[in-house]
Amino acid sequence: MGLAETGYVEGRSLALEYRHARNQADRLPSLAADLVQRKVAAIFTSGTPATLAAQGATRTIPIIFRVGIDPVAVGIVASLAHPGGNATGATTIDTELTAKRVELIHEVLPRAHIALVVNPTSPATAVQTSEAQMAAGVLGCQLLVANASNFGQLESAFADIAQQAARGVVLSNDINFGLVRMATLARRYGIAAVSGLYGFAAAGGLMSYGEDQRESWRIAGRYIGRILKGEKPADLPVQQATRLGLVLNLKTAKALGLTISETLLATADEVIQ
Residue type, 223: Y
- Non-local CB neighbours of 137 within 8 Å, separated by 6+ positions: none
Give residue 35's pLDDT. 96
Distance between CA atoms of residues 117 and 170, nearest Å: 6
**Residue 25's pLDDT is what?**
77
Common-topology check for domains 2-94+211-244 and 95-210+245-272: yes
Residue 65 φ/ψ, nearest 5 degrees: -120, 160
Residue 64, beta-bridge partner list: 44, 88
What is the phi/psi pair of residue 92, to 5°?
-110, -10
Residue-by-residue DSSP string for 91-141: E--GGGGHHHHHHHHHHHSTTSEEEEEE-TTSTTHHHHHHHHHHHHHHHT-
* pLDDT higher than 80, residue 24: no
Mean pLDDT of the chain: 92
Is the pLDDT reported for residue 22 higher than 80?
Answer: no
Strand pairing class (143-147; 113-118): parallel
CA–CA gap between residue 124 and residue 49 (Å, rounded) = 10
Domain ranges of the chain: 2-94+211-244, 95-210+245-272
Host H or E run for residue 207: strand 207-211
pLDDT of residue 177: 87
At 136-183, the pLDDT tens digits run 999 999 999 999 988 999 999 999 999 998 999 999 888 888 899 999
pLDDT at 49 over 90: no
pLDDT-derived band at 4, boundaries 50, 70, 90: confident
> Does CATH number 3.40.50.2300 belong to domain 95-210+245-272?
yes
Q: Mind listing the pLDDT tens digit for each residue in 180-212?
A: 999 999 999 999 999 988 899 999 999 999 887
CA neighbor of 156 nearest in space, from 130, 123, 117, 187:
117
Helix (H, G, I), strand (E, B) or coil at 173: coil
Q: Which residue has the higher pLDDT, 50 or 213?
A: 50
| Packing angle of the helix pair 125-139, 98-108 (nearest 10 deg) | 40
For 50-95, write each residue's pLDDT tens digit: 999 999 999 999 999 998 888 998 899 999 999 999 999 999 867 6
Write the DSSP string, 51-97.
Answer: HHHHHHH-SSS-EEEEESS-TTTTTS-S-SS---TTEEEEE--GGGG
B/e letters for 202-231, b = 16+ CB within 10 Å, e = fewer, are ebbbbbbbbbbbebbbbbbbbbbbbbbeee
Work out the pLDDT band at 1, boundaries 50, 70, 90. Answer: low
Residues 6+ apart with CB under 8 A from 212: 198, 241, 243, 244, 245
Q: Name which of 262, 265, 226, 227 is nearest 248 in CA terms.
A: 265
C-alpha atoms less than 13 angstroms from C-alpha of 199 in its C-beta half-sphere: 10
pLDDT over threshold 80, residue 213? no
Spatial CB neighbours of 217, under 8 Å, sequence gap ≥ 6:
1, 2, 66
Percentage of the chain exceeding pLDDT 90: 69
CATH number of the domain at 2-94+211-244, out of 3.40.190.10, 3.40.50.2000, 3.40.50.2300, 3.40.605.10?
3.40.50.2300
